[in-house]
A and B are shown apart, each in its own frame.
Chain A
């Protein structure tokens, strides 16, 4: 019964339904692992061991009654941007340090109703703004492959908890790469679903036209099973899409012969690490060996994506975060009778530097006299970026790119230079701009640090991406690698 915490969802489910193990034992294995490594990894903001064990007992009763599905009794971490009823949800911000939601996010509710076991809440960059988890108001998370390095962000806790064997899988959120980039830097699989596939109800808003919840797992199969658990229309999110339910795990195992992939040259940016480039080149060879065809393609608007994103996302952020005024919930400066002073002090204390930076950037882009030059221009660029993708997807089924131009960098290395930090997301941002699905799968190492390959497909092509990643995992061993901790 050694190392239950490293089980895949598939294996955990098989052993749970065969009653070889109980959910309580599986959950305890994860809690023991957390006890052993969490002081170094620090992937959690809140641990909920009592809730986890109670949910595990409930799951064991469900399983004994022949109820439940693949996720029943399987421990999960939720990024602290998703509302959890009765459990603090801070967004890694002092603004929400004492906020306790009175309802669950739909994605959380769906998993709990299927008998999931909540281990706790994952660390993140404040309000999901950042690429290193260093913007957490409470503590940084460390990369399990090298504790001096960042796990990526903003869903750094989601990726580090799965990579270090603390959680079987996790849910993160991805606005510009926040699931895929940390998954790449921590050597795990991360999926950003098509915009609208997963309900955003109860996902604390950053940029509403870009935000999407996505799973992190140690395999494509685990991500597929987690996606099965959270996908679907929700009347509480008007942007969630009505579609026939899909079993995303069903096509895994099918071969990928005849699939057509494009490699967009523009994603191999200046400053990309040689080891990353080589890992992607090698992965292309593997996919060709599996019968896929790979050709170069061009997405000329890629160079505009960064500017487009850093106008649109902060603009939406400045509007969304206007709600933090110290009145209804969250931190509130009380030491004055003046309404405006109270609001300014509330936001000055409550928001960290990156959030303030983005709120100000967005406020500027939306302000009178600049609106057309920045916001409208960026929305027009968004149209052209989307059309670029539509065009290449007439010829190929999916794209292959690096997830991040660099591997995990040192804690403190880039935090003082916002522009350098923003450039880290250059390969992942276009996917959110166009609302596409994107997946990062481990494809090797560069100087001992994990490299991620990103697969991008047309809207609702999750099956193609997951099937490809699964076939690639079976042909290589990268996803099986574990960090020494």
Chain B
């Protein structure tokens, strides 16, 4: 089932990615083709199968709560696109 234009726009807005007119069309077509490939999974009986999030045999890791040096705040701010003093500067988040 091909994605409709409104769906592509909705996905892009959820992902916070701006798209041009051409891209909306191209991604709509390509994502539909890819989703078609996923239909094969419907053949697979997964009743009662536990989902695997991780193949690494994850264990909860505990350690002593010790104070350690972390990155220097000046270093952390080094790549900031926009800063003010020791802060990252951003556009207003709350609307008036």
A195 adjacent to chain B (CB < 8 Å): yes
Q: What is the CB-to-nearest-CB distance from A72 to chain B, in angstroms, rounded to a whole number?
A: 28
State in angstroms the CA–CA spacing of A374 and B51 once bound together: 12
- Asked whether A102 lies within 8 Å of B78 as measured between CB atoms, the reply is yes
Q: A322 contacts which chain B residues (CB < 8 A)?
A: 16
Say whether, besides A304-B44, A343-B16, A344-B17, A330 and B52 are in contact (CB < 8 Å): no
- Residues 19-52 (chain B) with a chain A CB within 8 angstroms: 19, 23, 26-27, 30-31, 33-35, 37-41, 43-44, 46, 49-52
- Residues 223-255 (chain A) with a chain B CB within 8 angstroms: 235, 238-239, 241
Say whether, besides A377-B46, A378-B41, A209 and B56 are in contact (CB < 8 Å): yes
- Asked whether A344 lies within 8 Å of B81 as measured between CB atoms, the reply is no
- Residues 67-126 (chain A) with a chain B CB within 8 angstroms: 98-100, 102-103
- Asked whether B51 lies within 8 Å of A379 as measured between CB atoms, the reply is yes
**Segment at the interface with B among A129-137, A144-152, A359-367, A461-469:** A359-367
Q: A36 contacts which chain B residues (CB < 8 A)?
A: none
B67 adjacent to chain A (CB < 8 Å): no
Q: What is the CB-to-nearest-CB distance from B59 to chain A, in angstroms, rounded to a whole number?
A: 9
- Asked whether B51 lies within 8 Å of A328 as measured between CB atoms, the reply is no
- Residues 144-197 (chain A) with a chain B CB within 8 angstroms: 195-196
State in angstroms the CA–CA spacing of A374 and B18 once bound together: 24
- Asked whether B15 lies within 8 Å of A359 as measured between CB atoms, the reply is yes
B91 adjacent to chain A (CB < 8 Å): yes
- Asked whether A99 lies within 8 Å of B79 as measured between CB atoms, the reply is yes
Say whether, besides A195-B55, A328-B79, A338-B91, A307 and B37 are in contact (CB < 8 Å): yes
State in angstroms the CA–CA spacing of A364 and B56 once bound together: 26
Interface size classification for chain B: 35 or more
Q: B71 contacts which chain A residues (CB < 8 A)?
A: 102-103
- Asked whether A347 lies within 8 Å of B55 as measured between CB atoms, the reply is no
State in angstroms the CA–CA spacing of A364 and B14 once bound together: 9
- Asked whether A209 lies within 8 Å of B55 as measured between CB atoms, the reply is yes
Say whether, besides A303-B40, A374-B38, A337 and B91 are in contact (CB < 8 Å): yes
State in angstroms the CA–CA spacing of A462 and B74 once bound together: 41
- Asked whether B16 lies within 8 Å of A325 as measured between CB atoms, the reply is yes
State in angstroms the CA–CA spacing of A332 and B80 once bound together: 9
State in angstroms the CA–CA spacing of A361 and B51 once bound together: 20
Q: What is the CB-to-nearest-CB distance from A405 to chain B, in angstroms, rounded to a whole number?
A: 16
- Asked whether A102 lies within 8 Å of B75 as measured between CB atoms, the reply is yes
Say whether, besides A344-B16, A356-B17, A334 and B55 are in contact (CB < 8 Å): no
State in angstroms the CA–CA spacing of A301 and B41 once bound together: 10
The residue of chain A having its C-beta at the shortest distance from the C-beta of B47 within the complex is: A380
Q: B11 contacts which chain A residues (CB < 8 A)?
A: 360, 363-364, 367
- Asked whether A419 lies within 8 Å of B37 as measured between CB atoms, the reply is yes
Out of A195, A330, A348, which one reaches B18, CB within 8 Å?
A348
- Asked whether B17 lies within 8 Å of A359 as measured between CB atoms, the reply is yes
- Asked whether B19 lies within 8 Å of A348 as measured between CB atoms, the reply is yes
Could you jot down 17 A-B contacts, CB within 8 Å? Answer: A99-B79, A102-B78, A209-B53, A209-B56, A329-B80, A340-B16, A343-B16, A344-B17, A347-B15, A356-B27, A360-B31, A363-B14, A378-B41, A379-B52, A380-B44, A383-B52, A419-B30
Q: B38 contacts which chain A residues (CB < 8 A)?
A: 307, 310-311, 374
A139 adjacent to chain B (CB < 8 Å): no
- Asked whether B46 lies within 8 Å of A361 as measured between CB atoms, the reply is no
Q: What is the CB-to-nearest-CB distance from B2 to chain A, in angstroms, rounded to a whole number?
A: 13
State in angstroms the CA–CA spacing of A337 and B96 once bound together: 13
- Asked whether B91 lies within 8 Å of A336 as measured between CB atoms, the reply is yes
Q: B12 contacts which chain A residues (CB < 8 A)?
A: 360
Q: What is the CB-to-nearest-CB distance from A208 to chain B, in angstroms, rounded to a whole number?
A: 9
- Asked whether A418 lies within 8 Å of B15 as measured between CB atoms, the reply is no
State in angstroms the CA–CA spacing of A380 and B46 once bound together: 6
State in angstroms the CA–CA spacing of A303 and B44 once bound together: 10
State in angstroms the CA–CA spacing of A390 and B19 once bound together: 44
Contact with B along A315-343 (1 / 0, CB 8 A): 00010001001111111101011111011
